């Protein structure tokens, strides 16, 4: 396993701009999760995919947020019209259905909205 | 609904001393429980997990945790702290049995003094 990778690692943007993050899970992991983590807090669940199907979205995820996993492999998280409150670390994790809910995390993308 | 409470946002120990990080959970179904560690600017790494097998779970780096259903606790311990243990530790609970949503605690930052 090469591990979960995320790109970019850091993103600085101006308020109102759109940003897109990519997550490449461990190969053959059919579950993929997105979390948001702010300073001093644990990860907050955003959304979850099983294969290409998005099965759950948190109420934290406003209409400005969208996530896709078109072929059941990599996933993208897009934030439209960014706000300063979107500044956070965005974490991706992957796992297997038979993996007792164990999640393997990527290094995260740190977003700073100016 | 599930929840996790980590008692103490900061814990400081001397090198060689016992490490005890406290976690209490709430779950309406038999839970899966996890401890993750996070080093600065990195993603989370799984330390250990409880999935309804043995109540005393051993993890990496000499850590272990004991599941106590009567106390709804899953405290993390290590007999002798090392400087490299300084990090943020997160306790997490999931529904298990095929459930996917994992709830994380707010984290406990461990400081290790020389």
Blockwise average pLDDT, block size 10, chain A, 114 residues = 90 98 93 92 91 86 91 94 96 82 89 97
Model pLDDT, residue A57 = 85
Minimum distance, in Å, between the CA of residue B24 and any CA atom of chain A: 15
CA closest to A99 among chain B residues = B98
pLDDT at A99: 60
Asked whether the beta carbons of residue A101 and residue B99 sit closer than 8 angstroms, the reply is yes
Across the interface, do B43 and A106 touch by the CB < 8 Å criterion? Answer: yes
Q: Is the pLDDT at B35 greater than 90, yes or no?
A: yes
- Confidence at residue B97, expressed as pLDDT on a 0 to 100 scale: 52
Q: Which residues contact B90 (CB under 8 A, 6 or more apart)?
A: A42, A43, B6, B35, B36, B37, B38, B44, B104, B105, B107, B108
Residue B7: predicted pLDDT: 94
Strands B10-14 and B108-113: parallel
Closest CA to B106 of B1, B2, B7: B7
Torsion A99-B91-B33-B46 (CA) sign: positive
- Banded pLDDT at B2 (limits 50, 70, 90): confident
pLDDT of B99: 55
pLDDT classification of B43: cutoffs 50, 70, 90: confident
Residue to substitute from B88, B102, B103, interface A, most A β-carbons within 10 A: B102
Q: Across all residues in chain B, what is the average pLDDT? A: 91
pLDDT at B102 over 90: no
Residue from A43, A88, A107 to probe the interface with B (highest B Cβ count within 10 Å): A43
Contact (CB, 8 A) for B6 and B18: no
Give mean pLDDT, residues B66-72. 93
Residue B75's pLDDT band (boundaries 50, 70, 90)?
very high
State the pLDDT at residue B71. Answer: 93
Q: Name chain A contacts of B45, Cβ cutoff 8 Å.
A: 105
pLDDT value of position B29: 78
CA distance A39 to chain B (A): 10
CA B105 to chain centre: 9
Cβ <8 Å between B100 and A31 = yes
CA distance B112 to chain A (A): 18
- pLDDT, tens digit, 9 for 90 and up, residues B76-100: 999 999 999 999 999 999 875 555 6
**Of A66, A81, A68, A73, the residue nearest A29 (C-alpha):** A73
For residue B95, what are the CA distances in angstroms to A62, A69, B102?
25, 24, 7
B44, B100, B105: residue with CB nearest A101: B100
Cβ separation B100–A55 shorter than 8 A: yes
Confidence of residue B27 (pLDDT cuts 50, 70, 90): confident
């Amino acid at each position: 396993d090469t591990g979960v990778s995320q790109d970019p690692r850091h993103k600085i943007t101006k308020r109102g701009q759109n940003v897109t993050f990519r997550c490449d899970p461990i190969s053959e992991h059919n579950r993929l999760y997105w979390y948001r983590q702010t300073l001093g807090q644990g990860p907050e669940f955003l959304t979850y995919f099983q294969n290409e199907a998005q099965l759950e979205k948190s109420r934290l995820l406003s209409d400005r947020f969208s996530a896709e996993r078109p072929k059941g492999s990599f996933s993208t998280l897009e934030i439209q019209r960014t706000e300063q409150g979107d500044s956070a670390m965005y974490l991706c994790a992957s796992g297997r259905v038979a993996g007792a809910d164990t999640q393997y995390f990527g290094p995260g993308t740190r977003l700073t909205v100016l | 609904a599930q929840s996790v409470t980590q008692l103490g946002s900061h814990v400081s120990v001397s090198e060689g001393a016992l490490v005890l990080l406290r976690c209490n959970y709430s779950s309406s179904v038999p839970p899966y429980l996890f401890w993750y560690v996070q080093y600065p600017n990195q993603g989370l790494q799984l330390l250990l997990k409880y999935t309804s097998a043995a109540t005393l779970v051993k993890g990496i780096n000499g850590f272990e945790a004991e599941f106590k259903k009567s106390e709804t606790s899953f405290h993390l311990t290590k007999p002798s702290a090392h400087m490299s243990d300084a990090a943020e530790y997160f306790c997490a609970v999931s529904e298990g049995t095929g459930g996917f949503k994992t709830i994380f605690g707010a984290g406990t930052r461990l400081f290790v003094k020389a």
